[in-house]
């Protein structure tokens, strides 16, 4: 089998900007190839040096000509084409022998990179992978602290080898630009910026991200001091007024808000990307202590853990902070709209003093869905969701609703089934259900589903032991149609007999 060819981007110069994947491939390669001028010093190898290992074969690919003249019959292009063919043949010999070859490329391999000439000659013959790198344009923008483009602006990347007239025309019709390949081309590049009327906005960046980095206004650069590894930037005109780091908030920046976020029932992989994004954007996190503990700590965020029985106070605190301009996330387990904080926040938000505070709800996976998925599909047909807690509604109402749900032959998901303060209610609820349901009715008990103490029990209504249930449990009471298969999975058929 042949070896594999890798074109690996190294970024603009700082070895710390080499990607994790690039570093891994460099260290694992049998052969590491890199280009250099006739002096033999390779910028690419210097960047990759921390990731090389002893025993690797190094292939130094020395250009026969860079800026000087040549007596090659085909001129400059002929000499370069011949060099690339010979270099490709050297790498092909390694690949034919089964050795993996990494070709180092400053910046990104496909962004004005030398690697592409090897790619054209070898990629159709050998398995090949290109690993992108941070471009010099990105490194330069970071060095001067200026965004390149905003909103619907256009960025134009130009080679400095274009004539001054063409450069000037393109610079005058774009919002932002990066001009590469300076060195000897600098005088005509500077002239082009001047003709386009944007010289006063232009910046110069030399050897971005390295110890030799230098930045200054383009108009102040001495042409004799410009190396090839430099570029000219025309940043976004929207950032001309002040350095980005000094910009102040304007009237169009978002005011404070409250986002009620559902974490899902336990495991982090059950937290949606939308919820994770809302948590990351928040300045303040508020929630029941154990739920708040599930969110990784971030030193820039304030956290206010509270007891589980102060929902209204928690909501008012969140809304007050948002009214003062803070971005607040109210953390809820499961889905915030199912026996959780969404309703509590909206109830308090209805007060006149909070009329202008925006409230947003980010849904989460519910405990009922999580337990059902672990068991199979017990909620595969019509079902209802009930809470056995009588803290916010009378117990008589709970019992009446249980009777109606049982009589309707609905599968029932029971939240808050039993607590230290309500040890008797689950037993009473079971007796109510047994008035119309068979003792053989399938019951699923999910304990700490998604958490470290997860346990799933499938039993029957007649055998259900309330003493084994606590507040970390959710129960699913099947309908008359709910079944358990030979493998132990529970499901409720989607059809119902006429």
Domain at 54, CATH number: 3.40.1010.10
Confidence (pLDDT) at 255? 62
| 437 and 351, same domain (yes or no) | no
Structural domain containing residue 142: 137-243
Least confident of 167-181, 268-282, 422-436: 268-282
pLDDT of residue 300 exceeding 60? yes
35-51 pLDDT, tens digit per residue, is: 988 777 889 999 999 99
- φ/ψ of 423, rounded to 5, equals -75, -20
| Cα-based distances in Å from 42 to 4, 35, 390 | 23, 6, 75
CA dihedral of 103, 104, 109, 114, whole degrees rounded to 10: -80
Let me know if residue 248 belongs to a domain.
no
| 465 and 440, same domain (yes or no) | yes
Let me know if residue 412 belongs to a domain.
yes
Let me know if residue 183 belongs to a domain.
yes
| 398 and 442, same domain (yes or no) | yes
* Beta carbons within 10 angstroms of residue 32's beta carbon: 26
| 376 and 356, same domain (yes or no) | no
Residue 269 tokens read as 């992989």
Cα–Cα distance measured from residue 335 to residue 190, given in angstroms and rounded to the nearest whole number: 59
Residues paired with residue 455 on neighbouring β-strands, in sequence order: 447
Cα–Cα distance measured from residue 24 to residue 3, given in angstroms and rounded to the nearest whole number: 17
Let me know if residue 305 belongs to a domain.
yes
Let me know if residue 426 belongs to a domain.
yes
Confidence of residue 68 (pLDDT cuts 50, 70, 90): low
| 172 and 268, same domain (yes or no) | no
| 81 and 100, same domain (yes or no) | yes
Q: Mutual orientation of helices 395-407 and 425-434 as an angle, nearest 10°?
A: 30
156-200 pLDDT, tens digit per residue, is: 999 999 999 999 999 999 999 999 989 899 999 999 999 999 999
Handedness of CA 32, 34, 40, 44 (dihedral sign): negative
Cα–Cα distance measured from residue 449 to residue 63, given in angstroms and rounded to the nearest whole number: 63
Least confident of 59-73, 286-300, 370-384: 59-73
Residue 370 tokens read as 């999580």
Total-model pTM:
0.55
| 11 and 109, same domain (yes or no) | yes
| 270 and 225, same domain (yes or no) | no
What is the arithmetic mean of pLDDT over 437-447?
Answer: 94
Let me know if residue 14 belongs to a domain.
yes
What is the arithmetic mean of pLDDT over 123-136?
Answer: 96
Supply the mean pLDDT for the chain.
90
Confidence (pLDDT) at 118? 96
| 311 and 378, same domain (yes or no) | no
Share above pLDDT 70 across residues of the chain, in percent, rounded to a whole number: 96
Cβ contact 85:25 at 8 Å: no
| 346 and 380, same domain (yes or no) | no
| 149 and 162, same domain (yes or no) | yes
* Beta carbons within 10 angstroms of residue 248's beta carbon: 6
Q: Is 466 helix (H, G, I), strand (E, B) or coil?
A: helix
Let me know if residue 497 belongs to a domain.
no
Let me know if residue 472 belongs to a domain.
yes
């Amino acid at each position: 089998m042949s070896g594999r060819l890798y074109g690996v981007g190294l970024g603009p110069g700082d070895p710390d900007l080499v990607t994790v994947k690039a570093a891994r491939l460099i260290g694992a390669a049998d052969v590491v190839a890199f280009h250099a001028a006739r002096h033999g010093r390779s910028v690419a190898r210097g960047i990759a040096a921390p990731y090389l290992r002893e025993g690797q074969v190094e292939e130094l690919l020395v250009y026969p000509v860079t800026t000087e003249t040549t007596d090659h019959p085909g001129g400059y292009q002929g000499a370069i084409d011949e060099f690339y063919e010979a270099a490709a043949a050297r790498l092909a010999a390694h690949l034919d022998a089964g050795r993996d070859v990494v070709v180092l490329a400053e910046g990104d391999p496909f962004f004005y990179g030398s690697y592409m000439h090897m790619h054209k000659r070898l990629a159709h013959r050998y398995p090949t992978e290109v690993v992108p790198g941070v471009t010099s344009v990105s490194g330069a923008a970071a060095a001067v602290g200026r965004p390149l483009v905003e909103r619907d602006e256009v960025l134009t990347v130009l080679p400095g080898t274009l004539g001054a007239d063409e450069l000037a025309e393109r610079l005058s019709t774009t919002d932002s630009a990066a001009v590469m390949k300076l060195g000897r081309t600098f005088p005509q590049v500077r002239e082009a910026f001047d003709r386009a009327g944007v010289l006063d906005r232009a910046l110069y960046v030399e050897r971005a991200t390295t110890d030799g980095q230098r930045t200054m206004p383009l108009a102040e650069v001495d042409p004799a001091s410009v190396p090839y590894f430099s570029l000219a930037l025309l940043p976004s005109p929207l950032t001309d007024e002040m350095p980005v780091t000094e910009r102040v908030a304007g009237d169009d920046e978002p005011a404070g808000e409250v986002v009620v976020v559902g974490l899902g029932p336990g495991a982090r992989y059950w937290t949606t990307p939308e919820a994770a994004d809302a948590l990351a954007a928040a300045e303040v996190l508020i929630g029941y202590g154990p739920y708040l503990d599930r969110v990784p700590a971030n030193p820039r965020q304030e956290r206010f853990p509270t007891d589980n029985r102060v929902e209204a106070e928690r909501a008012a605190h969140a809304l007050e902070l948002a009214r003062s301009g803070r971005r607040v996330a109210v953390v809820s387990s499961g889905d915030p709209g199912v026996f959780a904080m969404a309703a509590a926040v909206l109830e308090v938000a209805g007060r006149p003093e909070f009329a202008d505070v925006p409230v947003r709800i980010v849904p989460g996976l519910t405990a009922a869905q999580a337990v059902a998925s672990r068991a199979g599909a017990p909620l595969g047909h019509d079902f209802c969701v009930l809470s056995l807690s009588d803290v916010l509604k009378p117990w008589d109402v709970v019992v009446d609703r249980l009777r109606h749900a049982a009589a309707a032959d609905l599968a029932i998901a029971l939240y808050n089934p039993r607590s230290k303060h309500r040890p008797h209610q689950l037993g009473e609820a079971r007796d109510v259900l047994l008035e119309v349901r068979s003792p053989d009715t399938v019951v699923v008990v999910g304990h700490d589903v998604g958490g470290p103490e997860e346990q799933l029990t499938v039993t029957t209504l007649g055998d259900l032991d309330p003493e084994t249930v606590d507040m970390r449990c959710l129960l699913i009471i099947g309908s008359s149609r709910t079944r358990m298969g030979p493998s132990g999975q529970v499901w409720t058929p989607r059809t119902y007999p006429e």
